[in-house]
């Protein structure tokens, strides 16, 4: 590179680094967030809030989707009595922002299935609890909510499961078990959406579905006793794709017409299930339901990795504020449909945004209180179009001090990239389609776009590290520059 080229490259890196630091810094806007909701709570008239009138509709919609009897949640929230009996725990969970466990912050992209409370709803529940949790007229009690439907999209085209059920011991560490399920399809297929029904919702915390054509999943399965094999985060070998994820409370969300998850003939599906022991021995036999694309498919959903590479990710013992960034430049026009941020247990905070060639920015996601247990694949309400030359930037902060209650090492140790709970990862997987791909017209995407889950690093990746000090250092990019510019 010429010296001018180097200077330009250095400036570009400095500019993007400053943008990223600013991204980690900016605070939630205090004015309007989603669709005209304001963030300030407008209190109700004193002692006018009643469960049967104002509170039940909120709790039944936003909490009961997970808090029903027999679910992974510790108690149901499907009646006045349930809510009153857990009033203290609810007030605490709301104050600490623990519940509902929807992680993406408002003011970034909006995602399908958002079950977070608005500030108004949260304020109403808190005011109602503080004023003594009045029930209101018992004859006006609303009908209790129904537990979530199995297969809410109707009967899947095919339902697959492992041959044997899996035993989860009464206590001990959480278990991450990967079940290898052959599809045995003789031809390639496209899947519109995959849905998961746990055999035993009490123990299942989350599920990630991979597609494997290498046979390595089968080999791992054969090498370990019992159904499946154990792998905490990534599987440890390249997979051919993914089929979405499931967490309690999630509603399956089909891809748009003309877009499909590619399921090559003969592929295996690997369901990675996170089990949380319940205090008594349990068994589970999860099922995955496939809904195939009925319309002609023009585009595959592909995966791109925006991440800090293995050799570079080192988080020194004791550091509570170790930030990394990674960036990827788009080689052509693409459309982003879903994102899947991924860190392990010392990961605390992450933010992602796109910068367009005209230097305008599009915020994508921010999670301030990262929790591995509530990771998810998020579907953008409005797909994000990125023209060639746009960049997606991902920035994440790790806390490897003893002050992080989730730190898996006590005392803290150097944490490096790896696949176990004691290692880390720093990745944003971006699920996207290539605008020029038109399979029905025989126009494939160029080879610039690999579509394998783990080979998906392409284009011009860059990454770096900012260590120590306030995450707030650097120039602030005003939120106005990050909003409404698409
Ligand atoms: C997406 C599923 C989900 C939703 C939605 C949800 N919860 Fe929970 N909740 C859980 C699970 C699972 C737990 C058990 C703890 C954990 O796994 O984090 C829990 C735990 C709790 C606890 C106990 C926390 C403690 O340990 O003291 C309270 C209180 C609670 N939830 C209240 C609520 C309220 C109120 C709402 C609605 C505003 C809500 N939850 C919405 C899944 C959910």
- CATH architecture observed for domain 158-297: Sandwich (2.60)
CATH numeric code, 300-482: 2.60.120.230
Least confident of 137-146, 232-241, 475-484: 475-484
Q: What is the pLDDT of residue 467?
A: 55
Do the beta carbons of residue 390 and residue 354 sit within 8 Å? yes
Q: What is the pLDDT of residue 148?
A: 85
Residue 314 binned pLDDT confidence (cut-offs 50, 70, 90): very high
- 143-173: pLDDT as tens digits: 999 988 899 999 999 999 998 999 999 999 8
Q: Summarize the confidence of residues 136-145 as an average pLDDT.
A: 92
Tokens of 254: 């089909």
- Atom nearest to 89 CA in ligand 1: 29
- 74-122: pLDDT as tens digits: 999 999 999 999 999 999 999 999 999 999 998 899 999 999 999 999 9
33, pLDDT greater than 60: no
Distance 290 CA to ligand 1 centre (A): 29
Q: What is the pLDDT of residue 107?
A: 86
Q: What is the pLDDT of residue 13?
A: 42
d(CA 410, CA 405): 10
Do the beta carbons of residue 173 and residue 261 sit within 8 Å? no
- Atom nearest to 371 CA in ligand 1: 18
Distance 99 CA to ligand 1 centre (A): 5
Pick from 419, 380, 375, 421: nearest CA to 396: 375
Q: Which of 59, 65, 74, 276 to mutate to test the pocket of ligand 1 (most atoms within 8 A of CB)?
A: 74
Residue ID of nearest Cα to ligand 1 atom 17: 73
The structural domains of the chain, with segments of one domain joined by +, span 3-140, 158-297, 300-482
36, pLDDT greater than 90: no
- Atom nearest to 72 CA in ligand 1: 12
Residue 478 binned pLDDT confidence (cut-offs 50, 70, 90): very low
d(CA 179, CA 421): 19
Distance 206 CA to ligand 1 centre (A): 14
Residue 413 binned pLDDT confidence (cut-offs 50, 70, 90): very high
- 445-474: pLDDT as tens digits: 887 776 655 444 555 678 888 655 333 322
- 246-262: pLDDT as tens digits: 988 888 999 999 999 99
d(CA 424, CA 206): 19
Residue ID of nearest Cα to ligand 1 atom 2: 66
Distance 100 CA to ligand 1 centre (A): 6
Distance 466 CA to ligand 1 centre (A): 34
Q: What residues line ligand 1, using a CB cutoff of 6 Å?
A: 62-63, 65-67, 72-74, 86, 89-90, 93, 99-101, 115, 117, 248-249
Least confident of 27-36, 361-370, 425-434, 469-478: 469-478
- Atom nearest to 100 CA in ligand 1: 41
Query: Is the C-alpha dihedral spanning 293, 376, 419, 329 positive or negative?
Result: positive
Order of strands, sheet of 347-355, starting from the edge strand that comes earlier in the sequence: 361-367, 347-355, 391-398, 322-329, 462-467
- Same topology, domains 158-297 and 300-482? Answer is yes
Q: Long-range contacts for 181-185 (Cβ within 8 Å, ≥24 apart)?
A: 181/268, 181/269, 181/270, 181/271, 181/288, 182/266, 182/268, 183/263, 183/266, 183/267, 183/268, 183/269, 184/266, 185/263, 185/265, 185/266, 185/267
Q: Summarize the confidence of residues 292-306 as an average pLDDT.
A: 93
Distance 16 CA to ligand 1 centre (A): 38
Task: Give me the DSSP letters along 426-453.
Answer: -EEEEEEEETT-BGGGTBPPPTT----T
Distance 64 CA to ligand 1 centre (A): 9
Distance 139 CA to ligand 1 centre (A): 28
Q: What is the pLDDT of residue 458?
A: 55
Residue ID of nearest Cα to ligand 1 atom 27: 89
- 316-339: pLDDT as tens digits: 999 998 999 888 888 899 999 999
Q: Chain-wide mean pLDDT for the chain?
A: 86
Pick from 367, 420, 375: nearest CA to 395: 367
User: Above pLDDT 90, what percent of the chain?
Assistant: 67
């Amino acid at each position: 590179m010429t010296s001018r080229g180097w200077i330009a490259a250095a400036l570009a890196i400095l500019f993007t680094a400053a943008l990223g630091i600013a991204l980690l810094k900016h605070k939630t806007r205090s004015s309007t967030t989603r669709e005209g909701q304001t963030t300030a709570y407008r209190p109700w008239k004193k002692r006018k809030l009643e469960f049967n009138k104002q509170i039940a509709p909120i709790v039944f919609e936003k909490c009961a989707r997970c808090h029903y009897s027999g679910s992974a949640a510790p108690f149901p929230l499907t009646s006045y009595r349930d809510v009153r009996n857990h009033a203290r725990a609810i007030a605490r969970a709301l104050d600490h922002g623990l519940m509902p466990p929807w992680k993406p912050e408002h003011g970034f992209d909006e995602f399908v299935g958002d079950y977070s409370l608005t500030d108004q709803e949260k304020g109403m529940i808190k005011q109602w609890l503080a004023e003594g949790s009045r029930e209101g007229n018992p004859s006006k009690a609303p009908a209790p909510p129904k537990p979530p439907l199995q297969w809410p999209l109707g009967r899947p085209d095919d339902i697959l499961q492992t041959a044997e059920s899996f035993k989860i011991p009464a206590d001990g560490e959480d278990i991450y078990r990967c079940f290898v399920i052959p599809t045995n399809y003789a031809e390639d297929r496209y899947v519109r959406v995959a849905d998961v029904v746990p055999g035993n919702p009490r123990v299942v915390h989350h599920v990630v579905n991979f597609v494997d054509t290498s046979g390595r999943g089968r080999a791992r399965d054969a090498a370990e006793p019992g159904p499946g094999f154990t792998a905490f985060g990534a599987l440890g070998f390249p997979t051919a794709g993914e089929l979405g994820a499931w967490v309690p409370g999630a509603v399956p969300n089909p891809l748009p017409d003309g877009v499909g998850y590619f399921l090559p003939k003969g592929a295996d599906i690997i369901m990675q299930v996170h089990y949380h022991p319940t205090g008594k021995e349990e068994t589970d036999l999860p099922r995955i339901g496939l809904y195939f694309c009925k319309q002609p498919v023009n585009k595959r959903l592909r995966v791109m990795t925006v991440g800090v590479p293995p050799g570079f990710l080192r988080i020194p013992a004791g550091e509570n504020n170790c930030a990394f960034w990674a960036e990827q430049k788009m080689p052509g026009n693409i459309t982003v449909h879903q994102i899947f941020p991924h860190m392990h247990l010392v990961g605390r905070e992450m933010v992602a945004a796109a910068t367009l060639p005209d230097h305008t920015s599009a915020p994508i996601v921010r999670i301030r209180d990262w929790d591995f247990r509530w990771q998810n694949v998020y579907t953008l309400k409005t797909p994000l179009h990125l023209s060639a030359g746009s960049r997606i930037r991902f920035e994440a902060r790790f806390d490897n001090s003893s002050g992080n209650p989730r730190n898996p090492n006590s005392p803290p140790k150097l944490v490096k990239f790896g696949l176990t709970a004691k290692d880390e990862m720093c990745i944003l997987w971006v699920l996207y389609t290539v605008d020029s791909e038109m399979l029905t017209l025989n126009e494939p995407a160029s080879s610039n776009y690999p579509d394998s889950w783990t080979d998906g690093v392409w284009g011009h990746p860059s990454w770096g590290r900012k260590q120590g000090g306030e995450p707030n250092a650097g120039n602030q990019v005003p939120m106005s520059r990050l909003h409404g510019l698409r």
